[in-house]
Amino acid sequence: PLPAPNPRSLFGVRRNAATRFVLYFQATKRGVCVISRGHLGKEMLAHVAVLLAAAAAPGDWTRSWAVTDGVLSDGTAVGQYTSQLQRAVVGNAAYFPAVTAEQLAYPYQNASSTLRYLYLTGDYLMDTPLRLPSCFILVLDGTLTLAANVSYAHTARASAAVVLNGTTFSGMTGGRVEMWNAKQAVGVYAYGGVSMLNAHASTVRGVRCLSNNTEACVSVHGGSRNDVVGCDVGGSAERMCASRCIWALGTTKVYVHGNHVHHCTMHALDFDAYTSKSVAHSNLCEDNGAEGIFVEETASLNVVYNNTCRGNKNGIGVYTLDVGPVQDNAFIGNAVAGNADYGITAGGFGHGTEKASKNNVFIANVGGPFFLNHGANQGDYWTRNDGEMVVSEWEALSGLSVFNP
pLDDT band at residue 29, thresholds of 50, 70 and 90? Answer: very low
pLDDT at position 181: 83
pLDDT band at residue 297, thresholds of 50, 70 and 90? Answer: very high
- Measured between alpha carbons, how far is 154 from 125 in angstroms, rounded to an integer? 18
pLDDT at position 293: 98
Give the number of other Cβ atoms within 10 Å of residue 236's Cβ. 11
CA 397 from chain centre, in angstroms, equals 37
Mean pLDDT of 80-107: 87
Mean pLDDT of 30-59: 50
DSSP H helix total and E strand total for the chain: 4, 38
Got the DSSP string for 338-366? S-SSEEEEE----SSSSSSEES-EEES-B
Residue-wise pLDDT tens digits, 223-276: 999 999 999 999 999 999 988 999 999 999 999 999 999 999 999 999 999 999
Phi, psi dihedral angles at 113 (to 5 degrees): -110, 0
CA 60 from chain centre, in angstroms, equals 28
Q: In the predicted model, is pLDDT for residue 360 greater than 90? A: yes
Mean pLDDT of 198-203: 94
Amino acid, res. 89: V
Give the number of other Cβ atoms within 10 Å of residue 93's Cβ. 8
pLDDT at position 59: 40
What's the Cα-to-Cα distance from 16 to each of 11, 21, 43, rounded to whole Å? Answer: 17, 5, 10
* Predicted TM-score of the model (pTM): 0.82
pLDDT at position 182: 72
Residues in the chain: 405
pLDDT band at residue 176, thresholds of 50, 70 and 90? Answer: very high
Mean pLDDT of 203-217: 91
User: β-strand 279-281 against 303-305: which pairing, if any?
Assistant: parallel
Q: In the predicted model, is pLDDT for residue 10 greater than 60? A: no
H/E run at residue 60? none
